[in-house]
Amino acid sequence: MQTRPLGRSGLRIAPLVFGANVFGWTVDQPTSARLLDRFFDGGLNAIDTADVYSRWVAGNKGGESETMIGHWLKASPARREQAVLITKVGAAPGADGKGLSAKSIAAGVEASLRRLQTDRIDLYLSHRPDAATPIEETLRAYEELVKAGKVRAIGASNSTPAGLRDALDTSAARKLPRYEVEQPEYNLCERGKFEGPLRDLCIAEGLGVIVYYSLASGFLSGKYRSKADLKGARAGGVQNYMNERGFRILGALDAVAKAHGAKPAEVALAWLTAREGVTAPIASATTVEQVDSLVRATQLELSKEELQSLTDASD
């Protein structure tokens, strides 16, 4: 499977990333191993997680997803050489009350490495901006990790255009590691957070872009067609899409899916993969059958007319 570069990092990923936020939430340890094996056997190679996944589940503290991935890596050492391992720090304040301070990053990386049972993180992301910490402090903390070989490349998530511009300028002026990847929310239902100044900046600077909520919390899978369908762990996140525009998007997905003998989710992911500036979407799976669908999505080629019909439906 053809891979795509992640900025200037030297890392390359297949055109879809496994979203491991479901591990420790709707997926247990044995199932997580089966899903990852199937995903890698399908020619895909990148896993996205974070130190806080999945603390929103009753009884969890965060780190459950990393722990499950670590068990899988320990049981399958050869997979570590195949994998591009992506995790994040900074969504939760550290001991000093800051998310991206040098102290929080230093402690966070050690905890993540321990849970992941590896000696390095391929791509380490600032999970969200931290207004309490100067960006130079954050980047210098990352510089130490890169020098130590604990992190190969760094990136950011949920950046504003101004915040990302400042980070890139600081890296250049201080000769510090730069963010090589941005991770924004982006899908057929939610386009405004990426399209525009943020996308323009990422393209101009040659950043890799890995997008999350690729299926709009599952709405773009087509399984939520009425209020009666709002069941399951993620159903609450789709209610805002159940309107005239949302159903118009589903109609366009249905039409393209039917023409290809595909599923609406596969079409939605193929649309993202074809978008200017996007390196790869993140998508989760809880069954082997869903993993197989993700693999099929990377093999689906849509015509210019089909891509435009989807874009028009979401305008």
Q: Which tens digits make up the pLDDT trace of 6-45?
A: 999 999 999 999 999 999 999 999 999 999 999 999 999 9
We report the CATH number of the domain holding residue 67 as 3.20.20.100
In this structure, is residue 312 part of a structural domain? Answer: no
pLDDT of residue 1: 87
* pLDDT band of 234, cuts 50, 70, 90: low
pLDDT of 236 over the 90 cut:
no
**How many alpha carbons lie under 13 Å from residue 233 in its C-beta half-sphere?**
12
pLDDT at 227: 72
3-class DSSP state of 257:
helix
Asked whether residue 146 is domain-assigned, the answer is yes
CB neighbours of residue 122 within 10 Å: 21
Model confidence at 224: pLDDT above 90: no
Question: Is residue 284 situated within a structural domain?
Answer: yes
Assess whether the previous peptide bond of 32 is cis (omega < 30° from 0). no
Q: What is d(CA 282, CA 294) in angstroms, rounded to the nearest whole number?
A: 10
Q: Say if 236 falls within a structural domain.
A: no
Identity at 222, one-letter amino acid code: G
Parent domain of 84: 4-217+277-302
Catalytic residues: 53
Say how many C-beta atoms besides its own lie within 10 A of residue 231's C-beta: 9
Task: Return the structure tokens found at 97.
Answer: 């009350």
Q: Whole-angstrom Cα distance, residue 212 to residue 125?
A: 13
Three-state secondary-structure class, residue 156: strand
The Cα–Cα gap between 209 and 144 comes to 24
Is residue 243 situated within a structural domain? no
Q: How far apart are CA 135 and CA 138, in angstroms?
A: 5
pTM exceeding the 0.95 threshold for the entire prediction: yes
**Does residue 245 form part of some domain?**
no
Q: Structural domain tally of the chain? A: 1
Per-residue model confidence as pLDDT tens digits over 80-126: 999 999 999 999 998 899 999 999 999 999 999 999 999 999 999 99
Here the tokens at position 236 are 């609450």
Q: In terms of DSSP H, where are the helices of 92-160?
A: 102-116, 135-147
Is residue 249 in some structural domain?
no
Collapsing DSSP to helix, strand or coil, 187 comes out as coil
Average pLDDT over residues 132-155: 98
Three-class DSSP category at 63: coil
Of 30-34, 98-102, 178-182, 232-236, which range is least confident?
A: 232-236
Amino acid at 260: H
Please tell me the distance from the alpha carbon of residue 185 to that of residue 211, in angstroms, as a whole number.
6
The rounded distance, in Å, linking the Cα atoms of 285 and 67 is 18
How many Cα atoms occupy the beta-carbon half-sphere of 121 within 13 Å?
30
Mean pLDDT value of segment 36-61: 97
**Separation CA 133–CA 161 (nearest Å):** 18
Residue of 291, 300, 283 lying closest to 43 (CA atoms): 291
pLDDT value at position 237?
77
At 243, is the secondary structure helix, strand, or coil? coil
Asked if residue 31 is part of any domain, the answer here is yes
Q: Is 120 helix (H, G, I), strand (E, B) or coil?
A: coil
SS3 15: coil
